[in-house]
Amino acid sequence: MNQDRSFEPVPSIPPAQGRALIVAPLVMFALAAGLLLAVVPGNPTFSDPRRLAFSYLTALLFLASICAGALAWLMLFHLTGATWSVVVRRLLENLTRPIPWLLPLFLVVGLSLGRLYPWADAGRVASDHELTRKAIWLNPTFYLVRTAVYLTVWWALAALLVRRSALQDRGDDGPISDRMRATSAWGLVLLGLTSSLAAFDWVMSLDPHWASTIFGVYFWAGSLASALAALIVMAIGLRAAGWLREAVTANHLHDLGKLLFGFVCFWAYIGFSQYFLIWYANFPEETSWYVVRRTGSWNTMSWALVLGHFVAPFVLLLFRASRRSPVVLGIAAAWILVFHYVDLFWMVMPSLRPEGGAVHWLDAVLVAAIVFLAGAVIARACLRKPLVPIGDPRLAESLALRSS
């Protein structure tokens, strides 16, 4: 590999542009607040509290899954010592910055448990033997405690890695790289366990009579693919603005595109495995979940997921030229993010409308509000530190990938 160091200085947002961009987080936060206020109870547009609760949960899961996936990629890159990934490591760190906001955002879910989950209705639990049997795990208090534990673990892991990365930026690397690798080794196990349990609690328990041992892996597959797509969109956007043009090259995009291609296939493999095993066993208590999603408009959405979340990005990312093109790769990544939301919608909404459903204006408003809020937090993080980890001893080699 050519170690030519004739690249431009380490990328960061220039001071003049940075001052202008300070308003960006404020504008996005204001937009998020305005959209959320538009659907609070008491507003004339508010009419269906259950629909509001389900739409809010879907939007919140969209953000939570991307944050969990970004944290997983951050630790995977530390653990594997992937030198090429150093230039995008800071972007992954910034993608984990909304995690502390998930705690107060999930408090709103806590106020709507009775509208979302059958096991939170004492009357239904008393008349349903299956819900009574599962009440030791599926009860409101324990649900909220577990959710707080999951998010606190994610927050602690992200904060620990980000703090050590900031110390490394000050020029005293010492054993910091080894410490981040060691933290990632046990942290990835914790993240895998907590995110799988979170998938069971937040999504699978919407239908407490149904269970799938592979569901946590399915949620993980979607999180990893969507976080990678968000990283690519973020990197290409900053690169187009000129701040990462010399750092994130076509070779880096190619590597990210190959990973995205692989995890699109992984998502499809896990999704098919779950469906095939349940279909083959043919137990009524297991097939009921898919029976709903194979009828009416949900069946249409099921096929849309097959085509939109797998076939289309598979064909697009199959070609080397597509993976090296910022425009094509950016479109593919944005497309996958859209269908990741569709996937979550398909998992959550049939519990509200098993007979069939359609996209409601609440869905668009709430996911936009959550995205604006996360965007404000991420934009602020981008302004506070250089866009690449300037203290990482492997940075020069990572930057030199452009000449490989």
The per-residue DSSP string of 260-306 comes to: HHHHHHHHHHHHHHHHHHHHHH--HHHHHHHHHHTSHHHHHHHHHHI
Burial call 101-112: b when 16+ CB within 10 Å, e when fewer:
bbeebbeebeeb
Contact yes or no for 351/203 (Cβ under 8 A) = no
User: What is the predicted pLDDT for the residue at 246?
Assistant: 81
Cα–Cα nearest to 224, from 273, 268, 177, 159: 268
CB 232 within 8 A of CB 285: no
d(CA 233, CA 228): 9
- What's residue 242's pLDDT? 81
C-alpha closest to that of 63 among 390, 383, 371? 371
C-beta atoms surrounding 282 within 10 Å: 8
Instruction: Look at residue 8 in the predicted model and tell me its pLDDT.
Output: 43
Cα–Cα distance measured from residue 141 to residue 152, given in angstroms and rounded to the nearest whole number: 17
3-state secondary structure of 357: coil
pTM of the model: 0.91
Is-contact 125 49, C-beta < 8 A? Answer: no
Residues 379, 385: Cα–Cα separation, whole Å: 11
pLDDT at 402: 53
Question: Exposed (0-12), middle (13-18) or buried (19+): which is 373, by Cβ within 10 Å?
Answer: buried
Distance from the first to the final alpha carbon of the chain: 5
Whether residue 351 contacts residue 207, with contact meaning beta carbons closer than 8 Å, is answered with: yes
| Nearest Cα residue to 115 out of 309, 352, 360 | 352
Amino acid at 344: L
What string of pLDDT tens digits covers the 404 residues of the chain? 333 333 344 555 444 444 445 555 666 666 666 666 665 555 545 567 888 899 999 999 999 999 999 999 999 999 999 899 999 999 999 999 999 999 999 998 999 999 999 999 988 999 999 999 999 999 999 999 999 999 999 999 999 999 999 988 887 666 888 899 999 999 999 999 999 999 999 999 999 999 898 999 999 999 999 999 999 999 999 998 888 888 898 999 999 999 999 999 999 999 999 999 999 888 888 899 999 999 989 999 999 999 999 999 999 999 999 999 999 999 999 999 999 999 999 999 999 999 887 788 888 888 888 998 898 899 889 888 888 998 888 888 888 875 44
How buried is residue 290: exposed, middle or buried, by Cβ count under 10 Å (0-12/13-18/19+)?
middle
Q: What is the pLDDT of residue 52?
A: 87
Q: What is the pLDDT of residues 157-182, one digit of tens each?
A: 999 999 999 988 887 666 888 899 99
Neighbour count for residue 140 (Cβ, 10 Å): 14
In 3-state terms, what secondary structure has residue 8?
A: coil
pLDDT attached to residue 32: 64
